[in-house]
Structure 1
Amino acid sequence: MSAHLDPRLLRAFLAVAEELHFTRAAARLYVAQQALSRDVRRLERELGAELFVRTTRQVTLTPDGERLVPHARRVLQAHDDLLTAFRQARPLLVDLNSPGLETGRRVLYRARELAPEHELMARFESGLTGAAVEIVAGRLDVSFGRYAGLDPALRAGLDHQLVRLEPMAVLLPEGHRLAASAEVPLAALAGETVYAGAGNPRTPEWTDLARVLFEGRGIALAPPAPLAVGVEEFRRVMAKDPQPILAVMGFPAMPGTVLRPLVDPVPLSPVSLVWRKGLVHPALDALRRAAVELGSAESWLACPVTGWIPARDRNIGSASPSGSSSGPSR
């Protein structure tokens, strides 16, 4: 038997023991069913005991499983009491990347409504890679962005929950040849040079998404521009050299530009809620509930028939009930 027992495994066990149903238990814990099943099997291996009898029709506790229930409840209550005593009063630091981006801001605002007794403080790190470094170092708690685009060394210290497949768009100068179009087919951008944050050390996950999207379509990735921190500086730098900018449909308006959805296919930007592995905080629970609530109400994880996301993003699992995204790839 292992000398150390991860409380997460006990939480997985107790949820299944109380629901006697793996799907309902996974939804209760905001995890994928496959991940929950893995945790239960790992706990059984570490304890050297079978805890459930599983059939195609029902799940029941074994005698060892029944014996474990009261012990698991006591251990988890003590664990929660300890964490509450030391962490509950601390604000949760939530990075939104930029003040104008919609998804993270809406999740944050809803979480504040769900847990008004907790302090969720907004931060703006201008990109998930930059925020992830701060999260792993303990100087930030949560951020939003493309988890699959992070360096594997960073991902090793993080957990994530897929929140939204956000339709992508292009921000065009008002005088651009495509500005009068209601939507812009990707093929229409052939021969164009499009800015997607190249050279910004805080946002390589976004530049990589653009690189994969543009590959084989005749669209060039704009070279690095001077690093602009803040909306005002970004607008000033972009105005000096007007060119199409890869964005999402919720991107804030910029003077002298128009935002147009991309189609044929509809490229989707996978946005995850990302936090430090092992982080326990009641306000994080509120964020995760808010993301699920908004996603369900507004079909944030729905992938159009003509939708596009990189294969790498589809193949990375998530701590959400939806697990990983699905749908057509390039």
Structure 2
Amino acid sequence: MTAERVVAPRREEPTVAPRREEPATAPRRDVDPRLLRAFVAVAEELHFTRAAARLYVAQQALSRDIRRLERELGTDLFARSTRQVTLTAEGERLLPYARRVLEAQDDLVAAAAGVARPLLVDLNSPGLVFGRILERARVLAPECELMARFESGLAGSAAEIVAGRLDVSFGRYAGLDPALRAGLDHQPVRYEPMAVLLPAGHPLAELDEVPLDALAGETVYAGAGNPRTTEWTGLARLLFEGRGIEIAPPAPLAVGPEEFERVMAKNRNPVLAVVDFPAMAGAELRPLVDPVPLSPVSLVWRKGLIHPGIEALREAAATLAAEEGWLVRPVGGWLPAADGLVMTR
């Protein structure tokens, strides 16, 4: 019997589709938060020894962290010499981002622990209505620590907020530099009637209300030269324009009510203020009329900031404004057009 050769059937090779090229993307780089903390500390101190002491690390370790971060980001963050440390242009650009990343990390840790980090709120000066908003917010969010400070006008506070060193402030939002406003959000709170603080014995102090035109020929202090209150000085310039009222030249920067009282008593200039400005020894506060000039006040915070304290402050401000008619603009009240648009957004 003749054996037959068995031939296995030929197996067809599967058709392989041509490989599709994936679009090129930049490689993801996860940055160690420790390196960012080193960067922020050196950027704020502009001194490696002080920054190392602040972080409780050796200076050599801090220097290594900065060099590693620069390698990972592919850019120089600092210009170093034997005499000084300065931020490069790229360092200046990246600093706000680093601060936001660290803030978000702190918020994450606090949320995991079941508590929110303290919120720092600048009230400008003791005795103003902003304090009432803060107290109402503390009732609404008792689990939050809302910390008050009394340091600055809105221009100074806004720069601190954008930099991440402050969370909330109050003031004239339209008077801020547009570059600052790009990093902020706001909520209109009040049209605050303005007043004048008159030195004791001033003839106008005999009046219950001071017509605005009665200040013609006067030199009125409105914070000129103070970089923290440029929005207030700008409002005064608009108000005084064409009325024969001069803005007083810069005075020494007074920190605290006692120093402010001393400097104002020495110069004896009327001071542009608001009707709720706290009493000051040796001076009389009188509302301005004909027309009633208005100071537009907003609650201001960093854009994108998520915190239960922010929601409590916004609710407190809205509730008080509704209860007391703070956002009802008086008929005939004076307000710059730009401020009117901002307050009725």
TM-score (norm 2): 0.67
Residue in structure 1 matched with residue 239 of structure 2 by the alignment: 213
User: In the alignment, which residue of structure 2 is the partner of 1:257?
Assistant: 283
Change (3 A) 1:148 1:86: farther
Within 1, Cα distance between the matches of 2:333 and 2:303? 31
Structure 1 residues 123-142: Cα deviation after superposition (integer angstroms, max 9, x where no partner): 12221111111100111100
Q: Is the 8 A contact 1:267 1:309 kept in 2?
A: yes
Match of 1:21 in 2: none
In the TM superposition, what are the counterparts of 1:298-317 in structure 2 within 5 Å? 298-316=324-342
Identify the residue that residue 261 of structure 2 maps to in structure 1.
Answer: 235
Shift of 1:229: 1.1
Q: Partner of 1:172 in structure 2?
A: 198
1:73-222 to structure 2, matched below 5 A, reads 84-85=111-112, 88-100=115-127, 102-222=128-248
Distance 1:223 1:296, change over 3 A: same
- Rounded to whole Å, the distance in 1 between the matches of 2:114 and 2:221 is 41
**Deviations 1:129-156 (Å, cap 9, x if unpaired)?**
1111110011110000111111111101
Matched, 1:248 2:274: yes
Q: What do the CA deviations read for 1:246-269 (whole angstroms, capped 9, x no partner)? A: 000010111111100000100010
Once residues 249 and 86 of structure 1 are traced to their aligned partners in structure 2, the CA distance between those partners, rounded to angstroms, is 43
CA deviation string 1:4-44 (max 9, x = no partner): xxxxxxxxxxxxxxxxxxxxxxxxxxxxxxxxxxxxxxxxx
Query: Which letter does structure 2 place at the counterpart of 1:104?
Result: F
- What letter matches 2:245 in structure 1? I
Alignment counterpart, residue 266 of structure 1, candidates 289, 292, 309: 292
CA contact (8 A) 1:193 1:221 kept: yes
Larger radius of gyration: 2
Contact 2:110 2:116 in 1 (8 A): no
Q: Distance in 2 between matches of 1:87 and 1:275?
A: 23
* Structure 2 spans left out of the alignment, 5+ residues: 1-106
Indicate if the aligned counterparts of 1:127 and 1:145 stay in contact, CA closer than 8 A: yes
* Counterpart residue type for residue 297 of structure 2: V
Checking the alignment, whether the CA contact within 8 Å between 2:191 and 2:294 is kept in structure 1 is yes
Post-superposition shift, 1:303?
1.0
- Matched position secondary structure for 1:203: helix
Q: What is the percentage of aligned positions where both structures have the same residue?
A: 73
Aligned structure 1 segments of 4 or more residues deviating by more than 4 angstroms: 80-83
- Which among 287, 298, 301 is matched to residue 275 of structure 1? 301
Cα deviation for residue 104 of structure 1 reads 1.1
Q: 1:172 is paired with a residue of what secondary structure?
A: strand
**What is aligned with 2:320?**
294
* Aligned positions, number: 239
Conservation of the 8 A alpha-carbon contact between 1:83 and 1:280: no
Q: 1:161 to 1:87 in 2, by over 3 A?
A: farther
Unaligned runs of 5+ in 1: 1-79, 318-322, 325-330
Q: TM-score by structure 1 length?
A: 0.70
Deviations 1:291-325 (A, max 9, x none): 000000000011111211111111226xxxxx43x
Alignment of 1:46-57 (within 5 A): none
Cα deviations across residues 143-188 of structure 1 (Å, max 9, x unaligned)? 0011111111110100000100000000001211110101001011
Q: Which moved more, 1:88-97 or 1:296-305?
A: 88-97
Residue identity in the other structure for 2:246:
A
Deviations 1:183-235, CA, capped at 9 Å, x for gaps: 00101111111000000110000000000000011111111111111111111
Letter in 2 for 1:89: A
Q: Which has the higher contact order (CA 8 A, sep 6+)?
A: 1
Note closer, same or farther for the CA distance 1:200–1:87 as it changes in structure 2 (3 Å cut).
farther
Partner Cα distance (1:158, 1:139) in 2: 14
1: CA distance, partners of 2:281 / 2:342: 37
